[in-house]
């Protein structure tokens, strides 16, 4: 039995999410094992010429096998070419589960492939488990605008397919000395004409999305409607600077034009998993929580003691943000100066 | 030119309410709208028609009440409307929906372009557009932000991906899923509304489009929703009351906390 993860690449380099998927995949392989169904974790990597070190890193981060198919038609990504090769691989390898990232590529490829394979697909899962009795994949995702969590099963069709959001998990630790026992990199020949698309790729006009800064940040300070007006964001920016954090926002703040959409955190914005998330003047609507709940440490400042954000906070400060946050900025800078004075 | 636009009727999500007792969605009194992304797809179709001539057909799968969505598309300027409505279709997941829509599109041939919104605001999956393209073996571009050129037999588009804007050239017929950037949806005109009211909306069931009723709807859907739960919030953190101890002391406690967690 096998759990497959679909690595993503750009110009031969694997993207971070390729490693994150191994965290999800390992969890499922372990779940299958625990239910008496030993499973192999296999990372699938399609591209034109993939960097050898990156493929090895997949094994160092826990893949039992890396299956590599290379062809000029596989970079840049065109869905028809990728689906053609993947369909062949699936019919040959018959995986139990395929998981991919909910990126623009993953969200195009997975549905395209799922209908070909006549199987089900669940998008944007926030949790994946294995049912200990049946061994089926239990897929949990927000539904009804995030108001509820739906559990979705693909009981009678294989493979079971799901996408998960980038940054919703950390990559597994890298163990360069000890790759997964007996892990191997398998190369598959791509038959002529399979990695082809009727679509012609023309060009990329690169534009670094401002949101990447929020997603990649170790710390995020986010502001909401409690900031009252655009200038109020200065309070959040000052704290972000003091903590060397990126600036995030609730949808209310974005809709009011106080800050750009790339900064939005939540169900219809970015998912972030920083070490620290500070929510300032954010009530903690379930749609917002959907994007930041997995942060290691959550701090909230809100004047309403009953605000829902306090239910997910590790430390909550009830008070006026316009007093508490500037005081915190001062405190942080004072302590930092003192420490530098010592050293 | 013949452009087919797949649209969906969705609940106005900004006021979806939950029954606190049962944890289910309250459907009564919730207004239905055309999925906002589909309005952008309709706008794109109508602009292409203005440039190139031809006609635009709006199709939707849904309950009889989804006829309202088709009429809205007609009042914006679409030429024809088709509603795929039948008991057999009820409960379709994205796979079964793709099957129904692709069968209907096939019946509407010849066509040059099939458009859909990038995703629906209720399910938020974005799976139906790619699914239809796959079943019909149509070249596909998702997340389209603009159509740069439409010439004999080809369309050049830009799509918005993580790294920026990517341009692709697709042979016709093909399928595009449209994002918000393709154009701001026009409002129906008074004349459009009057015309739409008089116009017939064609209803079609499984036999009309030649799909096996057992392979669509709930019965034909590989995925099943097996449980619905209200999210439970997990952390039980410490609370500091700044109103009582003052902002300065609260800030000091905050800084202590950050230091304990090696975040300072
Ligand atoms: C389909 C759908 C998708 C959505 N997607 C997202 C999403 O991706 N991200 C998102 O954030 N939201 C999303 N929402 C919206 C969400 O439901 C909430 O409306 C939104 O998160 C609220 O933002 P807020 O907390 O800033 O504002 P509010 O809920 O108005 O909260 C403001 C808070 O500030 C506090 N406050 C006010 N003044 C002060 C002060 N002086 N000092 C301290 N505290 C103060 C108040 O007590 C209050 O708790 C979505 C909604 C739907 C229906």
pLDDT by residue (tens digit) across A63-95?
999 999 999 999 999 999 999 999 999 999 999
Which residues of chain A have a CB within 8 Å of the CB of B121?
A: 145
Q: Has residue B223 been placed in a domain? A: no
- Is residue B60 in some structural domain? yes
**Residue B102 domain flag:** yes
Interface of B with A in 38-57 (CB under 8 A): none
Shared domain for B249 and B201, answered yes or no, is no
Residues B111 and B189 in one domain: yes
Tell me the CATH number at B137. 3.40.50.620
Sign of CA dihedral A159, A161, A167, A169: negative
What pLDDT does B236 receive?
74
For B65-87, what is the mean pLDDT? Answer: 96
Assess B94–A contact: CB distance below 8 Å, yes or no. Answer: yes
Q: Does some domain include residue B103? A: yes
DSSP-assigned beta bridge partners for residue A191: none
| A224 in contact with ligand 1, CB cutoff 6 A | yes
Instruction: Inform me whether the C-beta atom of residue B261 falls under 8 Å from chain A C-beta atoms.
Output: yes
How many Å apart are CA A122 and CA A126, to the nearest integer? 11
Mean local confidence (pLDDT), A284-304:
92
- Can you tell me whether residue B146 is helix, strand or coil? strand
Co-location of B137 and B241 in the same domain: no
Please report whether residue B226 resides in a domain: no
Q: B254–A328: do the CB atoms touch at under 8 Å?
A: yes
Cβ separation B95–A115 shorter than 8 A: yes
Which residue out of A114, A124, A245 would a mutagenesis test of the B interface target, given it has the greatest number of B Cβ atoms within 10 Å?
A: A114
Closest by Cβ to A144, choosing from B16, B141, B235: B16
Buried b (16+ CB within 10 A) or exposed e, A208-234: ebebeebbebebbbbbbbbbeeeebbe
Q: Is the CB of A321 under 6 A from ligand 1?
A: yes
* Alpha-helical regions (H) of A50-160: 52-60, 79-93, 106-116
Whole-number percent of chain A with pLDDT over 70: 95
Interatomic CA distance for residues B122 and A126, integer angstroms: 17
Secondary structure (DSSP) of A283-311? ---HHHHTTTTT-SEEEEEES-TT-GGGG
Closest Cβ opposite residue A299 in set B99, B223, B254? B254
B220 assigned to some structural domain:
no
Beta bridge partners of A179: none
Q: What is the mean pLDDT of chain B?
A: 91
Q: Tell me, using a 6 A CB cutoff, whether residue A287 lines ligand 1.
A: yes
- Cβ separation of B162 and A219 shorter than 8 Å? no
Residue B86 lies in a domain: yes
Q: At residue A343, does pLDDT exceed 80?
A: no
B-chain residues near A315 (CB < 8 A): 237-240, 253-254, 257
Give the side-chain half-sphere CA count within 13 A for B184: 1
Residue B89 lies in a domain: yes
CA separation for the pair A69, A47 (Å, rounded): 7
A202-211, A296-305, B112-121: segment of lowest average pLDDT? A202-211
Minimal CA separation from A93 to chain B, in Å:
21
Q: How far is B95 from chain A (nearest CA, A)?
A: 6
pLDDT at B12: 80
Q: Which residues pair with B125 in a beta bridge?
A: none
Task: Please report the sign of the dihedral spanned by the C-alpha atoms of residue A233, residue A234, residue A239, residue A241.
Answer: positive
Could you say which DSSP state residue B65 is in? Answer: G
Work out which ligand 1 atom sits closest to the CA atom of A266: 8
Q: What is the pLDDT of residue B248?
A: 95
Alpha carbons within 13 A on the beta-carbon side of B92: 26
Whether residue B142 sits in one domain with residue B182: yes
A225 lines ligand 1 (CB under 6 A): yes
When pLDDT is cut at 50, 70 and 90, the band that residue A262 belongs to is: confident
Q: At what angle do helices A321-342 and A233-242 cross, to 10 degrees?
A: 20
B22 touches A: beta carbon within 8 Å: no
- Chain B closest-CA separation from residue A185 CA (Å): 28
Pick the closest to residue A98 from A76, A125, A61, A78 (CA basis): A125
Going by alpha carbons, the residue nearest to atom 31 of ligand 1 is A283
Please report, to the nearest 10 degrees, the dihedral formed by the alpha carbons of residues B45, B46, B48, B50 taken in order.
170
Q: How many angstroms separate the CA atoms of B100 and B208, rounded? A: 11
Report CB contact under 8 Å: B161, A219: no
- Looking at the structure, tell me whether residues B102 and B173 fall in a common domain: yes
Q: What is the mean pLDDT of residues A163-173?
A: 88
Q: Tell me which residue range forms the domain holding B136.
A: 2-209
3-state DSSP assignment of residue A256: coil
Do B249 and B137 lie in one domain? The reply is no
Q: Is the ipTM of this complex over 0.90?
A: no
CA distance A298 to A284: 12
Residues in CB range of A30: below 8 A, 6 or more apart: none
Give the gyration radius of chain B's Cα atoms: 23
| A183 pLDDT higher than 90 | no
Distance CA B2, CA B52 (A): 10
8 Å CB contact of B223 and A122: yes
Alpha carbon distance A274, B263 (integer Å): 11
| B182 and B102 inside one domain | yes
The residue of chain A nearest to residue B235, with distances taken between CA atoms, is A312
Q: How confident is the model at residue A211, as a pLDDT?
A: 60
Residues B36 and B150 in one domain: yes
Statement to judge: residues B77 and B197 lie in one domain: yes
Query: In the predicted model, is pLDDT for residue B235 greater than 80?
Result: no
Cβ-nearest to B23 among A122, A148, A298: A148
B10-60 residue pLDDT tens: 988 655 565 555 555 566 677 899 999 999 999 999 999 999 999 999 999
**B80, B172: one domain:** yes
| Structural domain count of chain B | 2
Is residue A321 within 8 A of residue A336, CB to CB? The reply is no
Asked whether residue B139 falls in the same domain as residue B13, the answer is yes
Q: What pLDDT sits at residue A172?
A: 94
Please check whether residues B125 and B198 belong to one and the same domain: yes
Distance A226 CA to ligand 1 centre (A): 8
Beta-carbon contacts of residue B1 (< 8 Å; ≥ 6 apart): B48, B49, B52, B53, B54, B55, B112, B113
Closest chain B residue to A324 measured between Cα atoms?
Answer: B247
Cβ separation B95–A197 shorter than 8 A: no
For residue A97, the cross-strand partners are A3, A160
CB B97 within 8 A of CB B61: yes
pLDDT above 60 for B191: yes
Res A212: pLDDT: 63
CA–CA distance, A236 with A322 (Å, rounded to integer): 10
Residue B152 neighbours by CB distance under 10 Å:
5
């Amino acid at each position: 039995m096998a759990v497959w993860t679909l690595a993503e690449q750009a110009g031969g380099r694997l993207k971070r999410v390729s490693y994150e998927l191994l965290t999800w995949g390992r969890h499922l392989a372990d779940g299958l094992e625990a239910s008496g169904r030993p499973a192999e974790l296999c990372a699938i990597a399609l591209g034109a010429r993939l960097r050898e070190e990156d493929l090895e890193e997949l094994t160092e981060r826990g893949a039992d096998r890396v299956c590599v198919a290379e062809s000029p038609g596989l970079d840049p990504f065109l869905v028809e070419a990728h689906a053609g090769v993947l369909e062949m691989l699936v019919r040959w390898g018959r995986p139990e589960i395929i998981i991919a990232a909910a990126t623009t590529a993953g969200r195009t490829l997975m549905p395209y492939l799922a209908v070909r394979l006549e199987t089900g697909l669940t998008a944007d899962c926030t949790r994946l488990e294995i049912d200990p009795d049946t061994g089926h994949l239990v897929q949990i995702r927000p539904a009804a605008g995030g108001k509820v969590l739906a559990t979705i099963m693909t009981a009678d069709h294989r493979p079971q397919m799901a996408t998960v959001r980038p940054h919703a998990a950390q990559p597994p630790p890298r163990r360069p000395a000890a790759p997964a026992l007996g892990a191997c990199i398998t190369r598959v020949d791509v038959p002529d004409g399979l990695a082809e698309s009727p679509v012609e790729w023309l060009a990329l006009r690169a534009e670094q999305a401002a949101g990447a800064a929020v997603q990649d940040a170790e710390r995020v300070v986010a502001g909401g409607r409690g900031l009252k007006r655009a200038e109020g964001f200065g309070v959040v920016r000052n704290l972000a600077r003091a903590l060397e954090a990126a600036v995030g926002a609730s949808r209310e703040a974005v809709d009011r034009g106080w800050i750009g959409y790339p900064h939005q955190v939540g169900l219809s914005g970015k998912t972030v998993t920083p070490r620290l998330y500070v929510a300032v003047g954010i009530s903690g609507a379930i749609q917002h929580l959907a994007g930041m709940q997995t942060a290691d440490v959550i701090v909230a400042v809100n004047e309403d003691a009953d605000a829902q954000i306090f239910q997910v906070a590790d430390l909550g400060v009830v008070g006026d943000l316009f007093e508490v946050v500037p005081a915190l900025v001062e405190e942080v800078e004072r302590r930092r100066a003192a420490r530098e004075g010592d050293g | 030119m013949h452009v087919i636009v797949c649209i969906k009727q969705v609940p106005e999500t900004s006021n979806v309410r939950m029954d606190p007792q049962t944890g289910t969605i309250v459907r009564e009194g919730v207004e239905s709208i055309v999925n906002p992304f589909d309005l952008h797809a309709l706008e794109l179709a109508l602009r292409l028609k203005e440039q190139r001539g031809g006609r635009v057909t709006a199709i939707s799968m849904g309950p009889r009440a989804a006829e309202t969505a088709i009429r809205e598309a007609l009042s914006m300027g679409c030429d024809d409307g088709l509603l795929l409505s039948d008991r057999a279709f009820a409960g379709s997941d994205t796979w079964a929906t793709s099957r129904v829509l692709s069968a209907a599109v096939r019946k509407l041939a010849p066509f040059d372009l099939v458009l859909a919104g990038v995703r629906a605001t209720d399910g938020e999956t974005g799976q139906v557009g790619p699914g239809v393209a796959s079943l019909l073996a149509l070249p596909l571009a998702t997340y389209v932000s603009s159509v740069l050129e439409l010439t004999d037999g080809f369309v050049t588009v830009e799509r918005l991906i993580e790294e920026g804007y990517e341009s692709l050239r697709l042979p016709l017929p093909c399928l595009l899923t449209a994002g918000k950037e393709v154009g701001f949806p026009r409002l129906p005109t008074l004349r459009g509304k009057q015309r739409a009211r008089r116009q017939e909306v064609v209803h079609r069931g499984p036999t009309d489009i030649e799909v096996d009723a057992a392979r669509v709807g709930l019965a034909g859907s590989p995925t099943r929703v097996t449980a619905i739960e209200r999210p439970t919030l997990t952390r039980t953190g410490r609370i500091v009351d700044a109103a009582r101890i003052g902002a300065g002391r609260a800030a000091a406690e905050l800084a202590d906390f950050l230091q304990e967690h090696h975040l300072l």
